[in-house]
Every structure is written in C-alpha cells, then in structure tokens.
Amino acid sequence: MRTPGRAGVPAAADMGRVHGVADQSTSFSDGGALPRVVIVDDHRLFRSGVRGELGEAVDVVGEAGDVDSAVHVIGEKQPDLVLLDVHLPGGGGVEVLRRVLAQHPQIRFLALSVSDAAEDVIGVVRGGARGYVTKTISGRELADAIVRVADGDAVFSPRLAGFVLDAFSATDAPPVDPELDRLTQREREVLRHIARGYAYKEVAKELFISVKTVETHVSSVLRKLQLSNRHELSRWATARRLV
C-alpha cells in the first residue's frame, strides 16, 4: 500500500512540509488520486461520522482512538494525511505529532477539534500540524481542507487567522529574528481577510493576486508560526484561554 518513492525522500518532503513547497507528484487537487487518510479521534461515533461525511472525496485507510494505536496505524499505513484530534488519551495530538514526525516527516497533519482554546490551536500547529479546523466544519469544506493540506498547503480557519494576528501583534518587544517574528504587510492583509470569513479564492480576488500567491502567504505565515521561538507566542497562547 506504500506510495513508491515518497518514503525514500524524507528530507525533500520535510522541506515541503516546512516551506510549503508543494510536491508536484502528489497533487490531489487535480483530481488524480484520492488522498489516503487516517482518522485519529477518541470518539468512535465521531470517527464514523467524519468517515460518512467525507464519503468518496478521500480514501480513509485507518482509524485510531489513542496515541499509541495512532502512532502504530500511521506507521503501518503511511497515509498522505492524518486528521488529528487535539485531545487524545495518552498525551494528546501533540504527542502523536512528535512521535510520527520524528520518523515520517513527510506525513501531513490537519488538526480537527472541538476546542477553541488558543493553547490547543497554537500548540498543535507549532507541533507540526498544517492546519486547524473545528468540528463544526461541513463535510465538503473538510474534504477541501484535506486535499489542500495533503497537497502541502496550509489551512487556516478564521479563528486560527485571528489567533495568529493577535499573537504576532500582542507585544511591542523587539523581535529576536525579524525574518520569523514578524508578519509582512501582505501576510497580515491575507490573514485579516481569512479572519473575515473569505475563502482563499475570494481573498485572491479582493487583493488582486492569484490563489497560488494567497497559498504562499499562508504557508509562510504557518512557517513563521512553527519556527519562531519567541516566547511571547506560547505565553500569549496560555494567557489567552479562549476567543
């Protein structure tokens, strides 16, 4: 069931994961192959619900209900994408990210949670997830998000965009690394539109740029969010319990 050639180039895939450079051979948005997905959530009812909602849009190859079985199933099935619940028995979604990404850096994660808490959102994204959506998302939107993340792009919900804007503007302290600790004017503009409820396509139209450019901006924001080691980020997240 392994996709040939993918596991063999973890370094390149890892770069893709961090820098948002989509690997052309695995583009799912063209409608070629279906992304292979593992669903990790401790509520069985919810797993089957998601499975039903996604229907034919993706290929669900496995499920898991806790950290240990998730690591096992993901290692065995080598999916393109893992739908990850933030709250899991045995250490939470962050623990799954830590253990899986150490061995299989090419696997992409989309966090799916009922939690709106900034701690959870920022924590799991900094742990390596490429997107964060809440469980109220519709089946179609979820399928879109899966395809996007599986292709190496980032998915920001309006809420996550709001968190990022807040986190990066929360302090006047001089940035440690200006490259990583600050958002550019354009990135800020894109995030503000996402927070206002605009889809990527609508953002592109609004700002007179291509959808691809919007994706590049979002991926670059994601990279900053993941790599910036400014303490303010985590401190901000803990200080702010909920939107």
Partner 1 sequence: MEGRLLGGVGAGLARHLRLDPVVVRLALMALSVGGIGVAVYVALYFFVPVDPEEREKGADGPDGRRRGRDLSQLVAYVGLAVGLGVLFLLFGGVFDPLLWFVVFGTLGGVILWQHANPSQRDEWMTSTVGGAGGKGIMRAIAGVLLVVVGVIGFLVFQEQLQNARAGLTFAFTVLAGIALIVAPWIIGLIRERDQERRERIRNAERAELAAHIHDSVLHTLTLIQRRAEDPREVQRLARVQERALRSWLYQRPADADTTVSPALERVAAEVEEEHGVPVEVVCVGDCPMDDGLAAMLRAAREAMVNASKYAGTKNISVFGEVDQEEVLVFVRDRGAGFDMDDIPEDRMGVRGSILGRMDRHGGSARIRTGPGEGTEVQLRMPRIPEA
* Contacting residues toward partner 1, per CB under 8 A: 116-117, 136, 158-159, 161-162, 165-166, 169, 192, 195-198, 241-243
Pick from 144, 36, 134, 137: nearest CA to 82: 36
The residue among 3 and 134 lying less far from partner 1, judged by its C-beta, is: 134
Cβ at position 174, least distance to partner 1 in Å: 17
Biggest CA pair distance of the chain:
51
Cβ at position 87, least distance to partner 1 in Å: 12
Beginning with the edge strand found earlier in the chain, give each strand of the sheet holding 131-134 in spatial order.
59-64, 36-40, 81-84, 108-113, 131-134, 155-156
The residue among 147 and 195 lying less far from partner 1, judged by its C-beta, is: 195
Cβ at position 71, least distance to partner 1 in Å: 29
SS3 of 152, please?
Answer: coil
Q: Report the alpha-carbon distance of residue 201 to residue 215 in Å, rounded.
A: 10
- Check residue 63 and report its DSSP letter: E
Q: Report the alpha-carbon distance of residue 207 to residue 196 in Å, rounded.
A: 14
The residue among 123 and 162 lying less far from partner 1, judged by its C-beta, is: 162
The residue among 68 and 202 lying less far from partner 1, judged by its C-beta, is: 202
The residue among 195 and 233 lying less far from partner 1, judged by its C-beta, is: 195
Cβ at position 109, least distance to partner 1 in Å: 23
Cβ at position 167, least distance to partner 1 in Å: 10
State how far Cα 233 lies from the chain centre.
17
Pick from 87, 91, 169: nearest CA to 121: 87
The residue among 9 and 243 lying less far from partner 1, judged by its C-beta, is: 243
Pairing of strands 131-134, 155-156: parallel
Cβ at position 163, least distance to partner 1 in Å: 8
